[in-house]
Amino acid sequence: MDTVTGAVTHDPPPPAGGRQGGPLIVTEDTELLDDLLRLCAAAGATPEVHHGVPERRGSWEAAPLVLVGDDAARRVRGAARRRGVVLIGRDQDDSGVWRRAVEIGAEHVLMLPDGEQWLVDRIADVAEGVGRPALTVGVIGGRGGAGASTLACALAVTSAREGLRTLLVDADPLGGGLDVLLGGETAEGLRWPAFASSRGRVGGGALEESLPELHSLRVLSWDRGDRIAVPPQAVRAVLAAARRRGGTVVVDLPRRIDDGVAEVLGQLDVGVLVVPAELRAVAAAGRVASAVGMVLRDLRVAVRGPYPPGLDDREVARLLGLPLVGEVPVEPGLLRPDGGTAPPGARPRGALARFCKDFWERALVEAGAA
C-alpha cells in the first residue's frame, strides 16, 4: 500500500559492502517474535529486535527492511517515514489494521501464517542486497533451425563482454546443450537435473557460484543424461534466483509451451522471436507467437535473411504483427580449424556482436525508463 499522501519517505542508505544487514523487528508479542525469528532464520538473515523505535540513532533509518508487529504500531507512529516498512498481524478480520498501517507509513500489511512465504522471500532479498532485478530476455525460434540458440549465446557473450553480470539459461532439454555450443561441455558445475528437487527459494549467490563459467558468463544447461524435464516449481525458483542477482539473464526457449516454459515466460521482460525470411517460416512463427503471446506481453521479431523477392524484415514483422528488432546477421567462421567452436558473437567487431550490442543498449535504456 502507499504511504500517507504528502509524507516524506526515505530509502534506506545503500550498504557499505555487497551484502546488507538483516531486518529490524519491532514487537513485544513473544509469539509473533518467535515466528519472525524463525522466518529470518529460513531466509538466512540475522535481525535486530526492539520493542519500539530503536534509541540508537540511525538504526530505524538504516535497516533494509522494518517488520512492525501490529502490537507495536502505536509505539512507532512518530518515527521518520521511510520505505520498506511492513505491518504484520494475525487477525484477518481486523479492519483497523489498514488505518494503523497508514499511520506508520507502512508499504505492506501482512497476515501470518498466510504471508510467510512472501515474507521469507522479502527478507532474503534484502539480506542478499538485491537491487534492480536482471533484465531477462527470452529467445525462441519461429521454426526449427531458425538460429535462436545462436542468437541467445551471442546476446549472452556480448552482455558479459560489456561488463554485465550475465547468466545464459538453456530451457530446451532437446537442444543438445548450450554448454556444447559454447565449447564447455566438460566444464565443472551443475546442470538442470541438479535443481529438479528445488522448492521455494533458491539462493541467488549460491546458484551463480554453482554453475559453469564460460566466456565470463554463467551457463545453466542440460547434461547428457536421460532427464528431459524439471518440475515447474523448480524452474520458477531457479529463474527467480537468477533474476535477483541483477545484470542480464538470457533464456534459450523451445518452441513447445509446457508448464515449465510457461514459468519462464512469466518472468521474461522481453521475448525475441527469430524468424527466417521464408513464407513457411513466417506461417510457423505466427503459431508460435500466438502461443507465447498468451503469457508474454513484450514479444518482438528478429529476422534472418536471405530474402526472397518481395519479402524483407519489415514485411515479416508486419505479417506477424510484432515490433521489429532488426535483421540478425549471419556470422561466418564460428567453427575453428582445430575442430572446436568460437562462441557466437565472440568477435567484438563482427556483425553479430554489433547487432547484440545495439540490442542491449536499447533494451537497457527501455528498462531504465520503465
| pLDDT score, position 89 | 95
| pLDDT score, position 185 | 85
Alpha-carbon dihedral angle through residues 55, 60, 63, 68, given to the nearest 10 degrees: 100
For the chain, 370 residues long, the average pLDDT of each consecutive 10-residue run is: 38 48 92 95 88 86 94 94 94 90 94 90 76 90 93 96 96 86 88 81 81 94 82 88 90 92 93 96 96 93 94 96 95 50 86 96 84
| pLDDT score, position 298 | 95
Domains and CATH numbers, the chain: 24-128 (3.40.50.2300), 135-369 (3.40.50.300)
List Cα–Cα distances, 45 to 21, 38, 192, 241, in angstroms: 7, 10, 27, 16
For residue 368, with 0-12 CB atoms within 10 Å meaning exposed, 13-18 middle and 19 or more buried, which class applies?
A: exposed
C-alpha cell, 237: 525458483
User: Using the 8-state DSSP alphabet, how is residue 120 labeled?
Assistant: H
- The whole-model pTM stands at 0.71
Residue type, 358: D
| pLDDT score, position 131 | 65
199 HSE (CA, 13 A, CB side): 2
| pLDDT score, position 342 | 78
List Cα–Cα distances, 253 to 124, 140, 205, 223, in angstroms: 28, 5, 24, 16
Residue with cell 513457411: 280
| pLDDT score, position 196 | 84
**Sign of the torsion formed by the C-alpha atoms of 295, 300, 304 and 307:** positive
| pLDDT score, position 332 | 67
| pLDDT score, position 20 | 56
- Check: CB of residue 216 under 8 Å from CB of residue 165: no
Is the bond preceding 344 in cis, omega lying within 30 degrees of 0? no
